[in-house]
Structure 1
Amino acid sequence: METTISILLFVPTVGLTVLLFAAVIRRLLGVRVGPFRTLLAGVLVVLVATPVLNALAPADPRSVSAGEAVLLGFLAIVVSALIAMAALVILEVLLPTGSLPGPVELWRGTRRRIARSRRYATIVRIALRHGLGRFLRGRPDPGPSSAAARRRLGRSLRAALDEGGVAFVKLGQLLSARRDLLPAEIADELTALQDRAAPVPWESVSEVLAADLGRPVAEVFTSFERVPLAAASVAQVHVARLPDGTEVVVKVRRPGVAAVVERDVDILLRLARTLEERTSWGRPLGLVGLATGFAAALREELDFTVERDNLQAMAAALASSPDRGVRVPAAHAALSSERVLVMERMPGTSLGTAAAVLDRLGDERRTTLAAGLVDTMLDQVLVHGIFHVDLHPGNVLVAEDGRLGVLDLGSVGRLDAATRAGIGHLLGALGRGDSVAVSDALLQIVDRPAEIDERDLQRAIGALIVRYAAPGGSASAAAVSALLRTFTAYGLRVPPGVAAVFRAFATLEGTLGLVRPGFDLVAHARSAAGQRVAEALGPQRLRGSLENELLDLLPVLRRLPRRIDRLGDALEHGRLRVNVRLFADEQDRRLVTGLVNRALLTVIGAAAGVIAVVLLGAGGGPRVSATVSLFPLLGYGLLIVSVVLVLRVLVVVLRRE
């Protein structure tokens, strides 16, 4: 019984002691240390205190008075705490905080790592099956040298991405428009990727609908077609009817697709980070930024509340623009959720199968429709800053009266005011054939490198204008490809939003070919840009612009006399001072911090080495054991610390990035 009571008292006492020492050590260090490391330091104090006390105490404990015993105990505790603090510092040098996960994160990370490993194995098998194994080797592959070989590689890549699943299909569709990253033959093959999948059974669809609508399907819709109108890898679409008789389409997200997408997106992000860190071509292309933008767009596509908001924003944008015969379906916001989207069913036939409808409209009406579609896209890009990024024929409906309907706004492009202005300047300069203004506008909307030959860039842009944008030039998607290749040649990185604009117009050209064969997209855009510039310089618009500029300038003008008076008074009385913020740039701060850290490590390592030599030369000291003395033990320990710190500095100094 007494043994049990002793154990019950001993365990909490040791636990409280450990917590007390942990709190004291964290306070003494003055920095926030993780709870797991702090507890380890507390346990180390408890374990080391007794050996330290035995080393400090004389051989005959009976000769120690009570006061000396208290003093020795206090000294043993202080030395043990110092040892624990030193151990924490050494642990921080070897394994910085955050470099290792905690126990819970370690368990979760292990499960995720196992799942990723299985997925990695599946992806590798798919790549090998389609003849892409040579690109998985550690050494660089020269790649195909002929157009036929690049076309074969494109077919293999398309088949592999198609088999990889939804995230890889979406990635292939994105890459098909990035002709600055891929050869034209490969990009052409990737445009054939179709986002399709087998329909989900009705039982699974009804469960999702009932869960998100909060009631059975029969209580919300008077009729609901169980056979889907279309089925893709992310969602499938059903036709239904509301109690008021309105015919709607219901878009339902496939069960479990979010987890699959998150797993594959995680793999793509890790791969992008590895390539950007370890390859010479990954950093200039900004692979991490591309992968991050792709992941964000794909997550938006999975959340149907985003598409609902996009539909409402696009409808408002079209309503505030001239009527060009283009509209979007109205969303039923009250019935929509993250996994379910209910929207108006628009009349019409998909553009890819609407040849008979278009033939009845006649060439003049078809030309008007094509021009209206281009003008609508220009309104979206230049005025509203929200635009449809994938206007392929499957996303365009043609009604019997010739009006066009635009579908699938799950992922739209967004542009800030500065980028919209830059694109407007670019189109205006293209309309004038001014290569200098075109290059200036391009440098305004892309990420430029630290050094660039602007004169050479202007000459390259001028050659492209003569070839593609001049009257009689062969304007086509090749113009976009040539422009993007020019970006790559001069080290210009295209932001995701601007890349989406190029992708949108490249896709739009193929759609216009079905609406009105032979329609010149670049010529019409050049003419429209000239009209917009003329309208912007018209009396009414110019007066409005001047009024806006004056309104922005008025507060500055009001404060200017007061500030000049203060400056003059301070200058007159010798109180004028100029404050300069040192190290405002992040790169400067990182440079100075790295230099200071290396200097401190060098000084500390050298000091530890000197002290180690002194201790080893002194020898003796208190006995830790029958054969070990304290001074040599501390000397060897400090020598190890000195060598580790000096080697750490040398590795950083001699390492070539």
Structure 2
Amino acid sequence: MDGILEGVLLVPTVVLTVLLFGAVIRRLLGVRLGPVRAVLAAALALLVAGPVLQAFLPDPEQADPGTALLFAALALCCASLAAMAVVVIADVVVPEGSLPGPVELWRGWRSRAARAHRYAQILQIAVRHGLGRFLRGRRPAGVESAAARRELARSLRRALDEGGVTFVKLGQQLSTRRDLVPAEFADELAALQDEAAPVPWEEVRAVLLAELGRPVEEVFAAVDPEPLAAASVAQVHAARSFDGADVVLKVQRPGVCAVVERDLDILLTLARTLEARTPWGRSLGLVGLATGFADALREELDFTTERDNLTAMAAALRASPSRGVRVPTPHAALSTGRVLVMERLEGTPLGSAGPALAELGPGRRSAVAGALLATVLDQVLDHGLFHVDLHPGNVLLQADGALGLLDLGSVGRLDSTTRTAFGRLMAALGSTDSLTAGDALLELLDRPPEIDERELERALGVLIVRFTAPGASVGAAAFGALFRLVTAHRLPIPAQVAAVFRTFATLEGTLALIDPGFDLVAEARAAGRGRVAQSLTPQRLRRSAEEELAALLPLLRRLPRRVDRIADAVEHGRLGVNVRLFADARDRRLVTGLVHLTLSALLGAAAGLMAVLFLDMPGGPQVTDSVRLFPVFGYGLLVVAVVLVLRVLVVVFRQDRS
């Protein structure tokens, strides 16, 4: 019975002792340790304490109680120091947080098992298309020539196409980022088509039933089971409401969200790996790019976002001059996160509207192209809300020459400061003012700590002369040259600014399809000059002056009192300047941390030196029959020295990693 009782009490006693040791070790090191690491360190301390005590005191029964107590405390201290040393070494070899904990492993084992097969598929696709060598840390050879880059671009396109919806979307977005990828890759990736086999009508009906909450026959008078278009994310069906209006149903493909989330997780993991292991990954900032792409794709999967974008874009078009450009009206009451119901616009996509364009005639085609460009300029410069992907498939040509804009799942948004900078850049390009253009360009971009503004101004001036001189050839080369100029000076491009460049790069091909002789750069320059002229009219100048005066009025009202106070302080000799050092909390934390580290290192060194002196000092008062005072002080100071040094080391190692 006594044995059973001892066994029952042994388990909670050991658990409490381990937890106490773990708390003490965390407190002495001064850093946060994970529960698993703290428990393992405490268990190690308990295992070491017994042998250490046996070495200090071979025959406990022969020692007096005071000596036994001192040696027991010393054994516990030595065991704790050993455990702390192991923790510091483990933190260097396997950093805290680099491995998932047991709770994370338990929660994520199913998702990890599900992703493991997909990881293998992605790696097989990459290796099969000759991309495996780029996953290593060193730079692969043989990609310097244009022919090698074109072949590599074809391999990448085939691999992304085989990878599925997420990777196809990634390739399409990269095709518009000529500031990041070479021209050979951008041209090849532009051939990726977001097409897929249609989903059977019964599966589409099930999605409609789940989202609308009732059978589709009770909501619409008729629905065409044959889709108008089928893409990898959704497919579109024609329908008619009970009031006779023609609408379209954009229905998300079943299971696409789970597939996209799984692939995005793989993509983010791959981006982190490449950024950590490859120089080109770090230079491109792959983690930031992948995160932005993931956010945009998740936004595209939520059809309520497109519904709100359609409503906002329609309001912006109504606020602008009428140019025959419109967007479909959404039916908000029938739209959900996976189903979007909107007005059906009659027309033909520009990609297949060759005969209809020919019937318009050269003059009308030029006017239609100009109206589309003016609409986009209004969106970018006036409203700050613009369509980011105006390729020919997203523009409908109606019989009267009017245009309809489709697919607003992802739009760009600009703040007023960025819109003003774009206006200044366009005006400077129109007047060939490289100085103003350079200032406006720097306002648009994330300004690096060091930049040769004079060299940037000269390069921009050469670019302006090259593409604005009479008889100069313009086109996609202008945008490519601007991208190369930006990247050559290592100027980071914010995501929304890149979206504007992407918009105009895509728009140029659409405008050329409407009117082959349309000059985007020249028209944009003319529009920039026109907007500057409009801003200098007496009415606009008066309104701008009134707005600026209204903003300055509170400051002007307080200014006389402040001037009077300053004059009074000067007159009576009380004027002084109060400068607060370390007003920023980050500066205070930095200095405090450095002081703490320095003090800990100095105290540790002093304690160690004193420990050596005490241990080497003969004689001294007797604490017990067999223990003198000086060795007790020496071993105590040695424990303090080791603890302080370990605290400094663990902080230094963790700061080096961060």
TM-score > 0.5 by shorter chain: yes
**Aligned-partner residue type, residue 574 of structure 1:** R
Shift of residue 180 of structure 1?
Answer: 1.9
For the structure 1 residues 266 and 10, does the alpha-carbon distance in structure 2 shift closer, same or farther, using more than 3 Å as the test?
A: same
**Counterpart check, 1:555 vs 2:554:** yes
Tell me what 2:195 maps to. 196
Q: Secondary structure of the equivalent of 1:447?
A: coil
Tell me what 1:415 maps to. 414
For the structure 1 residues 219 and 593, does the alpha-carbon distance in structure 2 shift closer, same or farther, using more than 3 Å as the test?
A: farther
Shift of residue 141 of structure 1?
Answer: 2.1
* RMSD between superposed Cα atoms in Å: 4.2
Tell me what 1:579 maps to. 579
**Aligned-partner residue type, residue 287 of structure 1:** L
Q: Distance in 2 between matches of 1:512 and 1:77?
A: 84
Shift of residue 649 of structure 1?
Answer: 8.9
- TM-score computed with the length of structure 2 as normaliser: 0.85
Tell me what 2:369 maps to. 370
For the structure 1 residues 277 and 20, does the alpha-carbon distance in structure 2 shift closer, same or farther, using more than 3 Å as the test?
A: closer
Conserved 8 A contact 2:41-2:86: no
- TM-score computed with the length of structure 1 as normaliser: 0.85
Tell me what 1:217 maps to. 216
Tell me what 1:460 maps to. 459
For the structure 1 residues 550 and 82, does the alpha-carbon distance in structure 2 shift closer, same or farther, using more than 3 Å as the test?
A: farther
Tell me what 1:427 maps to. 426
For the structure 1 residues 252 and 374, does the alpha-carbon distance in structure 2 shift closer, same or farther, using more than 3 Å as the test?
A: same
Tell me what 1:626 maps to. none
- Show CA shifts across 1:413-468 (max 9, x none): 11111111111100000000111111111111112322222222111111111111
For the structure 1 residues 119 and 551, does the alpha-carbon distance in structure 2 shift closer, same or farther, using more than 3 Å as the test?
A: same
**Counterpart check, 1:498 vs 2:497:** yes
Conserved 8 A contact 1:167-1:264: yes
**Aligned-partner residue type, residue 401 of structure 2:** G
Shift of residue 485 of structure 1?
Answer: 0.4
Q: Secondary structure of the equivalent of 1:397?
A: strand
Q: Distance in 2 between matches of 1:235 and 1:498?
A: 28
Larger CA deviation: 100-109 vs 577-586: 577-586
Shift of residue 282 of structure 1?
Answer: 3.7
Shift of residue 210 of structure 1?
Answer: 1.6
Q: Distance in 1 between matches of 2:654 and 2:77?
A: 31
Conserved 8 A contact 2:325-2:405: yes
Q: Distance in 2 between matches of 1:58 and 1:560?
A: 87
Tell me what 1:147 maps to. 146
**Aligned-partner residue type, residue 306 of structure 1:** T
**Aligned-partner residue type, residue 100 of structure 2:** P
Tell me what 2:181 maps to. 182
Q: Distance in 1 between matches of 2:618 and 2:186?
A: 74
Shift of residue 109 of structure 1?
Answer: 4.7
Q: Distance in 2 between matches of 1:574 and 1:86?
A: 62
Shift of residue 125 of structure 1?
Answer: 1.9
- Show CA shifts across 1:226-268 (max 9, x none): 2221111111111222222222111122222222222222233
Q: Secondary structure of the equivalent of 1:401?
A: coil
- Show CA shifts across 1:518-549 (max 9, x none): 11111111111111111111111111111111
Larger CA deviation: 522-531 vs 134-143: 134-143
**Counterpart check, 1:324 vs 2:323:** yes
Q: Secondary structure of the equivalent of 2:580?
A: coil
**Aligned-partner residue type, residue 169 of structure 1:** V
Tell me what 1:473 maps to. 472
Percent sequence identity is 61
Q: Distance in 1 between matches of 2:225 and 2:600?
A: 70
Q: Secondary structure of the equivalent of 1:518?
A: coil
Tell me what 1:512 maps to. 511
Shift of residue 270 of structure 1?
Answer: 3.0
Q: Secondary structure of the equivalent of 2:248?
A: strand
Conserved 8 A contact 2:44-2:83: no
Conserved 8 A contact 1:609-1:642: no
**Aligned-partner residue type, residue 104 of structure 2:** E
Structure 2 counterparts to residues 149-548 of structure 1, below 5 A: 149-548=148-547
**Aligned-partner residue type, residue 429 of structure 2:** L
**Aligned-partner residue type, residue 404 of structure 2:** G
Larger CA deviation: 502-511 vs 594-603: 594-603
Conserved 8 A contact 1:422-1:444: yes
Larger CA deviation: 259-268 vs 152-161: 259-268
Q: Secondary structure of the equivalent of 1:578?
A: coil
For the structure 1 residues 590 and 634, does the alpha-carbon distance in structure 2 shift closer, same or farther, using more than 3 Å as the test?
A: closer
Q: Distance in 1 between matches of 2:85 and 2:215?
A: 61
Q: Secondary structure of the equivalent of 2:355?
A: helix
Conserved 8 A contact 1:269-1:288: yes
- Give structure 1 stretches of 5+ with no counterpart: 624-628
Larger CA deviation: 569-578 vs 218-227: 569-578
Conserved 8 A contact 2:474-2:521: yes
**Aligned-partner residue type, residue 580 of structure 2:** V
- Show CA shifts across 1:130-170 (max 9, x none): 23343333321245333333322222221111111112111
For the structure 1 residues 590 and 12, does the alpha-carbon distance in structure 2 shift closer, same or farther, using more than 3 Å as the test?
A: closer
Q: Distance in 1 between matches of 2:367 and 2:617?
A: 97
Conserved 8 A contact 2:37-2:87: no
Q: Distance in 2 between matches of 1:619 and 1:222?
A: 105
